Amino acid sequence: MNIAFQTGTLVTAGYGPKDYLKVASDLKFKYIEFWIDRANLWPYSTTREERKQMIDLISNYDLKVVSTCPVFFTAEKWQKFEFEFNLAHPEEGQRKKAVKFVKDAIDLTSELGGKLMLTLPGKVEQPSLMESKVSYRKYFEQSVKSLKECARYAENAGIILGVENAVVGNFADLPEELYRLVREVGSEHVKAYLDVANANVYHSPIEYIRVLKDVLADLIHITDNDGSYPNHLPIGMGNIDFKGVLKELKSLGWDGYLVPELFYDKDPIGGIKQSKEKLLGLIQSI
């Protein structure tokens, strides 16, 4: 197992590219997951020259992009997310807009040299179905339709789409639900991207691994919380059984990238360092 640096950890804390890539290098990371938002290689605003400069900067720090994490939404604050690109949207125009975004982000991922792109399954706008104008089934079918279209494009580009249990979309958060979604898409280029911290607010992350074992992506977001709220804290600040998680992964022969995706503004660099050190110790102990 390898440990990868998630650039979004420092992007959301206000760091620029030169700063967060230097931190990754100083902490002796070799692999990164590149966060894509309007200030970081946004597909619809950055020039070819700006992309080249970023690729050169990544190379100068001797880092390898293994995955990307494009942002499908805007967030006024931590608790409130508005999806700009919703693969499960019941309106065809909005659904097609989201599919185009995924395809454009796939092109960018390929240009950066990544092999996997985190993808959100979509958002159910009104989780109370007695108040919703559209059924859950409609959202699910739209998401499958979108992901099938995206999968064909991803296959041509040699990219895996990792569908995350993201909490923010009221959708595909339970392990059986995410497993069914990936299976219905039916493509080797669509996998389940497990987020351990998000899983922990529903069930034990080990349960997720057991359900998703046949469709797990080669990357896992791995941070901590106490199960009462989907915080993404440094490892050791919650109650997740990480040794059990890694043992379960090892028993499956899983040998991918563990990605500490932290949202910990109090001490983001210290949180990354702590998480990496604890993960290295756990990997050596199992």
pLDDT of residue 80: 77
pLDDT above 70 covers a percentage of the chain that reads 99
Helix (H) or strand (E) holding 52: helix 48-60
Residue-wise pLDDT tens digits, 198-249 = 999 999 999 999 999 999 999 999 999 999 999 999 999 999 999 999 999 9
- Better-scored residue on pLDDT, 207 or 82: 207
Residue 20 class from Cβ within 10 Å (0-12 exposed, 13-18 middle, 19+ buried)? buried
**Domain region containing 276:** 2-285
Amino acid 74: pLDDT = 86
CA distance 92 to 70: 22
Assign 76 a pLDDT band (cuts: 50, 70, 90): confident
Spatial separation of the C-alpha atoms in residues 195 and 232, rounded to whole Å: 10
pLDDT at 78 over 80: no
- How far apart CA 121 and CA 37 sit, in angstroms, is 18
Across residues 79-99, what is the average pLDDT? 94
As a whole number, mean pLDDT of residues 73-91 equals: 87
Task: Output the pLDDT for position 235.
Answer: 98
Return the percent helix, strand and coil in the chain, to nearest 5: 45, 20, 40
pLDDT reading at 77 higher than 90: no
* Cα dist from 146 to 29, 50, 174, 178, 192, whole Å: 34, 30, 20, 15, 16
Using one digit for the tens of pLDDT, what is the confidence trace for 125-156? 888 888 999 999 999 999 999 999 999 999 99
CATH code, domain with 230: 3.20.20.150
CB of 173 closer than 8 Å to CB of 167: yes
Domain count, the chain: 1
* pLDDT at 54 > cutoff 70: yes
Q: Which residues, 6 or more positions from 77, have their beta carbon under 8 angstroms from its beta carbon?
A: none
CB-based burial, 176-198: b 16+ in 10 Å, e otherwise:
ebbbebbeebebebbbbbbbbbb
Averaged pLDDT of the chain: 96
What contacts 74, CB < 8 A, 6 or more positions away?
Answer: 81, 82, 84
| Paired sense of beta strands 80-83 and 73-77, if any | antiparallel
Sign of CA dihedral 37, 38, 41, 44: positive
CB 124 within 8 A of CB 111: no
- d(Cα 111, Cα 197) in Å, to the nearest integer? 30
Query: Could you report the per-residue pLDDT of 237-257, keeping only the tens digit for each?
Result: 999 999 999 999 999 999 999
Tens-digit pLDDT profile for residues 155-189: 999 999 999 999 999 999 999 999 999 999 999 99
The predicted model gives 19-38 an average pLDDT of 97
Q: What burial letters (b/e) apply to 263-277, b meaning 16+ CB within 10 Å?
A: bbeeebbebbbbbbe
User: What six digits make up the tokens of 81?
Assistant: 């997310």
Q: Residue 75 has what pLDDT?
A: 78
Q: Average pLDDT for residues 81-87, to the nearest whole number?
A: 93
What percent of the chain shows pLDDT beyond 90? 94
How would you classify residue 114: left for phi > 0, otherwise alpha for psi between -120 and 50, otherwise beta?
Answer: beta
Average pLDDT over residues 263-286: 97
Q: What's residue 127's pLDDT? A: 85
